Amino acid sequence: RAACLDAHGSADEANQSMLWRRPTPTREANVLVITAGTSDLPVAHEARLTLQAHGFDPSLISDVGVSGLHRLLARVDDVTGADAVIVVAGMEGALASVIGGLTSGPVVAVPTSVGYGAGLEGVTALLSMHASCASGISVVGIDNGFGAACAIARSCR
């Protein structure tokens, strides 16, 4: 990190990603990044930064997981109006199925390693997201906000 900053100057940083040149948004797709909890934010910020590097102007909705579903329902119009959604969730990863049932656009699910007990460092969320009954959900690796954003960049031209 230090060597990169020394060589290239200050950068926008999120999680383990760095962005030196933030382009003016050129893609019109309405992309939404949603987190189940606040502990999922580092991965969500990585996804947003990567989307911005690809010319998107993504919105973020955080802390709307199934344990506080009322907070998601207050934003349901944002979800149904999105062209594509990245869902970032740990624990059991149930939010991906909920969002997959609400929106008709592409959904890319990112399991996170946060949680405790039977969360198994993200494996439980990963398996749950793969087993979702909401059709068409794509799943990337644990904590891979970068990969999720790249999948959206390939989906939304």
- For each of the chain's 157 residues, which pLDDT tens digit applies? 777 666 766 767 677 676 656 667 788 999 999 999 999 999 999 999 999 999 999 999 999 999 989 999 999 999 999 999 999 999 999 999 999 999 999 999 999 999 777 889 999 999 999 999 998 899 999 999 999 999 999 998 7
**Amino acid in position 51:** L
For 28-155, CATH gives 3.40.50.1970
Q: Beta-strand (E) ranges in the chain? A: 12-14, 17-19, 31-35, 59-61, 84-89, 107-111, 137-139
Task: Provide the whole-model pTM.
Answer: 0.89
CA pair distance 41, 96, nearest whole angstrom? 15
Residue-wise DSSP of 101-125: HH-SS-EEEEE-S---GGGGGGHHH
Q: Which of 92, 157, 100 minimizes the C-alpha distance to 126? A: 92
User: What are the structural domain ranges in the chain?
Assistant: 28-155
